[in-house]
Amino acid sequence: MTDLAAPRTGVTAGQGLDAHLVVDRGGFRLDVRLRAASGDVVALLGPNGAGKTTALRALAGLVPQAGGHLRLDGTSLDRTPPQSRPVGVVFQDYLLFPHLTALDNVAFGPRCRGASRAAARALAAEWLARLGLTDHAGAKPRHLSGGQAQRVALARALATHPRLLLLDEPLAALDARTRLEVRAQLRRHLADFEAVAVLVTHDPLDAMVLADRLVVVEDGRVVQEGTPADIARRPRTDYIARLVGLNLYRGEADGHTVRLDAGPALTTTEDLSGPVFVAFPPSAVTLHRERPAGSSARNLWRCEVAGLETHGDQIRADLTGELPLAADLTTAAAADLGLHPGAPVWAAVKATQTHAYPA
Amino acid sequence: MTAPRPSTAVGAPTGGPRRGRVRAPGRGVPLPLLVPALAGLAFLLLPLLALLLRTPWRSLPDQLTSAEVWQALRLSLVSATAATAVSLVLGVPLAWLLARVDFPGRGLLRALVTLPLVLPPVVGGVALLLALGRNGVAGRWLDDWFGVTLPFTTAGVVVAEAFVAMPFLVISVEGTLRAADPRYEEAATTLGASRFTAFRRVTLPLIAPGVAAGAVLAWARALGEFGATITFAGNFPGRTQTMPLAVYLALQNDPAAAIALSLVLLAVSISVLAGLRDRWMTTR
Amino acid sequence: MTTRTVRRTGRTLQAAGAGAAALLALSACSSSGDASSSAPRSSGSAAASGTAASAASGAKRLSGTVTVFAAASLKESFTTLGKEFEKDHPGTKVTFNFGGSDTLAANITAGAPADVFAAASPKTMGIVTGEKDTAGPPVTFVRNRLEIATLPGNPDHISSLKDLTRSGLKVVLCAKTVPCGAAAQKALDAGGLKVTPVSYEQDVKSALTKVELKEADAAVVYKTDVKAAGGKVEGVTFPESARAVNDYPIALLKNAPNPDAARAFIALVRSAEGRGVLTRAGFLAP
Give, in degrees to the nearest 5, the angle at Cα A222 between A216 and A225: 55
Q: Do A89 and B190 touch (CB under 8 A)?
A: yes
Which pLDDT value is given to residue B27?
Answer: 63
Q: Is the pLDDT of residue C16 over 50?
A: no
| Touch between A and B (at least 3 CB pairs under 8 Å) | yes
Which pLDDT value is given to residue B281?
Answer: 55
By Cβ distance, the residue of A83, A98, A157 closest to B189 is: A83
Q: Is-contact B238 B215, C-beta < 8 A?
A: no
| Per-residue pLDDT reduced to its tens digit, A144-173 | 998 899 999 999 999 999 999 999 999 888
Domain region containing B197: 61-283
| Per-residue pLDDT reduced to its tens digit, C73-95 | 898 899 999 999 999 999 899 99
Burial A264-284, CB ≥16 within 10 A → b, else e: bebbbebebeeebbbbbbbeb
Closest residue, chain C, to B133 (C-alpha)? C215
| Per-residue pLDDT reduced to its tens digit, C123-143 | 889 989 988 888 889 999 999
Q: Is the pLDDT of residue C6 over 90?
A: no
For C36-54, what is the mean pLDDT?
39
Q: Is the pLDDT of residue B162 over 70?
A: yes
Q: Using DSSP bridges, classify how beta strands C116-118 and C146-150 pair: parallel, antiparallel or unpaired.
A: unpaired
Burial B91-123, CB ≥16 within 10 A → b, else e: bbebbbbbbbeeeeeeeeeeeebeebeebebbb
| Per-residue pLDDT reduced to its tens digit, A52-77 | 999 999 999 999 989 999 999 989 99
Burial A154-175, CB ≥16 within 10 A → b, else e: bbbbbbbebbbbbbbbbbebbe
Indicate the CATH number of C146-243 among 3.30.450.20, 3.30.470.20, 3.40.190.120, 3.30.420.40. Answer: 3.40.190.120
C172 in B contact zone (CB under 8 Å):
yes
Q: Is the pLDDT of residue A129 over 60?
A: yes
CA distance A149 to A153: 6
Domain assignment present for residue B11? The answer is no
Give me the residue spans of the domains in chain C: 64-143+247-280, 146-243
Query: Do C64-143+247-280 and C146-243 agree at the fold level?
Result: yes
Q: Do C215 and B135 touch (CB under 8 A)?
A: yes
Closest approach of C45 to chain B, Cα-based (Å): 34
Q: Is the pLDDT of residue B143 over 50?
A: yes
Chains that touch C (3 or more CB pairs under 8 A): B
Q: Is the pLDDT of residue C262 over 90?
A: yes
| Per-residue pLDDT reduced to its tens digit, C186-234 | 999 999 999 999 999 988 888 999 999 999 999 999 998 898 888 899 9
Which pLDDT value is given to residue C60?
Answer: 62
How confident is the prediction for chain C on average, in pLDDT? 80
B132, exposed or middle or buried, with CB in 10 Å at 0-12, 13-18, 19+?
buried
CA distance C33 to C35: 7
Type and span of the H or E element at C249: strand C246-252
Q: Do B187 and A97 touch (CB under 8 A)?
A: yes
pLDDT band at A1 (very low <50, low <70, confident <90, very high): very low
Domain assignment present for residue B93? The answer is yes
Closest approach of C91 to chain B, Cα-based (Å): 37
Q: What is the torsional sign of CA B99, B101, B102, B105?
A: negative
CA distance C246 to C225: 13
Report the SS3 class of residue A193. Answer: coil
pLDDT band at C28 (very low <50, low <70, confident <90, very high): very low
For B236-245, what is the mean pLDDT?
92
Q: Do B188 and A113 touch (CB under 8 A)?
A: no
Better-scored residue on pLDDT, B164 or B251: B164
Closest residue, chain C, to B150 (C-alpha)? C215
Which pLDDT value is given to residue C17?
Answer: 39
C250 in B contact zone (CB under 8 Å):
no
pLDDT band at B21 (very low <50, low <70, confident <90, very high): very low
* Other CB atoms within 10 A of residue B180 CB: 17
By Cβ distance, the residue of A87, A97, A98 closest to B190 is: A87
Query: Residues 44..103 of A with a Cβ closer than 8 Å to B: which?
Result: 60-62, 82-85, 87-89, 91, 95, 97-99
How confident is the prediction for chain B on average, in pLDDT? 84
Indicate the CATH number of C64-143+247-280 among 3.40.190.10, 3.40.190.290, 2.40.50.140, 3.30.930.10. Answer: 3.40.190.10
Backbone φ, ψ for residue B127 (5° rounding): -60, -40
CATH assignment at residue B135? 1.10.3720.10
User: For an interface test with C, which of B252, B253, B254, B261 has the most C Cβ atoms less than 10 Å from its Cβ?
Assistant: B252
Which pLDDT value is given to residue C250?
Answer: 95
Closest approach of B229 to chain A, Cα-based (Å): 39
Q: What is the pTM of this model?
A: 0.73
CA distance A305 to B190: 52
Q: Pick from C2, C97, C4, C94: which is nearest to C45 by CA? A: C4
| Touch between A and C (at least 3 CB pairs under 8 Å) | no
| Per-residue pLDDT reduced to its tens digit, B35-59 | 999 999 999 999 888 888 888 888 7
